[in-house]
Amino acid sequence: MATIYIAYGSVEGQTAHIAEYIADVIRAHGHQAETADLKHSADTLPDGQDGVIVAASVHVGKHEGFVADFVRRNRGDLERLPSALVSVSLAAHGHEADAEGYVAKFEEETGWHPAHVALFGGALPYTQYNFLKRQLMKKIVKDKGSQDLDTSRDYIYTEWDGVRHFTEEFLARVTAPAGQGQGTGTTSTEVPGSSPGFNP
């Protein structure tokens, strides 16, 4: 049985949902998973992990600074163990080049070049935003040409099938016989296909 650590940063909660969903998939396959909200938890990776997934969301072009701190502090372990980065943003839903740019910036900032990167669409939870944030996000989304402007509802862009698929592939790498797990060191980026919604 493998033990996987899922360390995440989340401001409005969608990356937290994704991290918990990843943990559920891992447990459903008979393995152990622990999620850690990096805003509140210890900043050192606990011993005894077989794999680590770091998940972070993008705000104003950047992933959470405290996730970058965690990565810098634990870079040696992230490079030694099977590991992956999950990047959550609106850009991942239809503007993949921008989403890849955020990841490139994160890699530059942390010095960590994850062998596996997944880009997942996040959410536009208008009903959770305060007035100013709601107007700001509506304007940004409108400027991108999206029709998702009804601020009385939330829009969710995460493709859960894509998250499950990514998790199962990650598990397969972790549990592969020695020498077949981490691959060749080349980076693979998973971009689940777009779904209706944020579709500029």
Ligand X SMILES: Cc1cc2nc3c(=O)[nH]c(=O)nc-3n(C[C@H](O)[C@H](O)[C@H](O)COP(=O)(O)O)c2cc1C
Site membership for ligand X, residue 90 (CB under 6 A): yes
Residue 168 C-beta: closest distance to ligand X, Å = 22
Residue 44 C-beta: closest distance to ligand X, Å = 22
User: Cα torsion for 156, 61, 13, 159, to the nearest 10°?
Assistant: 30
Q: Which residue is nearest to ligand X (CB)?
A: 122
**Burial of 67 by CB count in 10 Å (0-12 exposed, 13-18 middle, 19+ buried)?**
buried
Residue 50 C-beta: closest distance to ligand X, Å = 25
Question: What is the C-alpha separation between 141 and 149, in angstroms, rounded?
Answer: 7
- Which residue number, 6 or 58, has a Cβ lying nearer to ligand X? 58
Q: Mark residues 48-87: x for contact with ligand X by CB under 6 A, - for none.
A: ---------xxxxx--------------------------
Structure tokens given for 171 = 């598990």
Phi, psi of 95 (to 5 degrees): -130, 60
Helix H, strand E, coil C: the string for 120-175 is EECEECHHHCCHHHHHHHHHHHHHCCCCCCCCCCCEECCCHHHHHHHHHHHHHHHH
Residue 133 C-beta: closest distance to ligand X, Å = 6
Range in contact with ligand X (rule: CB under 6 A) among 39-47, 74-82, 119-127, 171-179: 119-127
Choice from 5, 6, 7, 14 touching ligand X (CB under 6 A): 14
Question: What is the C-alpha separation between 115 and 117, in angstroms, rounded?
Answer: 7
Range in contact with ligand X (rule: CB under 6 A) among 7-15, 79-87, 103-111, 168-176: 7-15
Count of residues touching ligand X (by CB under 6 A): 20
**Residues whose CB falls within 8 Å of the CB of residue 5, separated by 6 or more in sequence, listed in order:** 33, 34, 36, 45, 46, 49, 51, 52, 53
Site membership for ligand X, residue 146 (CB under 6 A): no
Structure tokens given for 122 = 């996040």
Residue 10 C-beta: closest distance to ligand X, Å = 3
Residues at the contact surface with ligand X, assessed by CB under 6 A: 10-15, 57-61, 88-91, 122-124, 133, 137
